[in-house]
């Protein structure tokens, strides 16, 4: 318990955290990038899921749609994590006692785990149509990532 609290205190007092807190515009600018990346990350996820459900782009294989959007998915995730870490650092002690933050980290952990161990491999193998298991995986991925977004928004409201 005390090790965790010390880690959060250390994050909160880091030079970069103070720099973000002392700037009037840094936090809003970083949060804007967090939001652009959310749009691209969830957007690319939704398109692949729609394809797996057989609702769009039937002329392309599922793996083709996933491959076309993969760089957008990866880069938006990179921006998401970078901006997210900066936002966290600047208010680490606020996050420490914040229930939605904990829920968000829970969802984030499982969203990343599911995507990189299971989901990416599934879509990479799928052709013209997704079996039931693939559709369920798409729904699980959507729930996990939208869960991250939902809990993330709640950090601000229930802070």
Partner 1 sequence: MSILSMCQWLQDTTIGTSIRESIWVFPIIETIHVLALSISVGLLLVSDLRLMGYIMRRRPSSEIYEQIKPWMFVGFGIMTVTGIFLFWCQAVKAYNSIFFRAKVVLLVLAAVNALTFERGIYRRVDKWDNALVPPMEARLAGWVSLIFWVAIITCGRTMAYTF
The binding site for partner 1 (CB under 8 A) comprises 28, 31-32, 35-36, 38-47, 50, 55-57, 59-60, 65, 68-69, 72, 146, 149-150, 153-154, 157
Give residue for tokens 């039931």.
Answer: 132
CA 30 to CA 32: how far, in whole Å? 5
CA 105 to CA 111: how far, in whole Å? 10
**Least distance CB 1 / partner 1 (angstroms):** 30
**Least distance CB 3 / partner 1 (angstroms):** 33
**Least distance CB 37 / partner 1 (angstroms):** 11
Among residues 140 and 154, whose Cβ is nearest to partner 1?
154
**Least distance CB 152 / partner 1 (angstroms):** 9
DSSP string, 69-135: HHHHHHHHHHHHHHHHHHHHHHTHHHHHT-HHHHHHHHHHHHHHHHIIIIIHHHHHH--SS--HHHH
Among residues 8 and 53, whose Cβ is nearest to partner 1?
53
Among residues 42 and 137, whose Cβ is nearest to partner 1?
42
What tokens were used for 153? 């928004």
CA 151 to CA 32: how far, in whole Å? 17
Among residues 1 and 157, whose Cβ is nearest to partner 1?
157
């Amino acid at each position: 318990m005390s090790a965790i609290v010390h880690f959060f205190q250390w994050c909160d007092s880091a030079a970069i955290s103070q720099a973000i807190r002392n700037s009037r515009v840094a936090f809003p600018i970083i949060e804007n990038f967090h939001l652009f990346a959310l749009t691209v990350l969830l957007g690319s996820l939704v398109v692949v899921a729609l394809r797996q459900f057989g609702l769009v782009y039937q002329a392309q294989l599922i793996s083709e749609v996933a491959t076309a959007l993969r760089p957008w998915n990866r880069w938006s995730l990179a921006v998401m994590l970078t901006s997210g870490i900066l936002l966290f650092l600047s208010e680490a002690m606020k996050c420490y006692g914040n229930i939605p933050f904990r829920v968000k980290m829970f969802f984030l952990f499982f969203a990343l785990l599911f995507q990189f161990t299971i989901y990416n491999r599934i879509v990479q193998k799928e052709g013209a149509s997704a079996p039931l298991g693939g559709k369920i995986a798409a729904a699980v991925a959507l729930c996990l990532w939208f869960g991250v977004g939902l809990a993330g928004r709640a950090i601000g409201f229930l802070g």
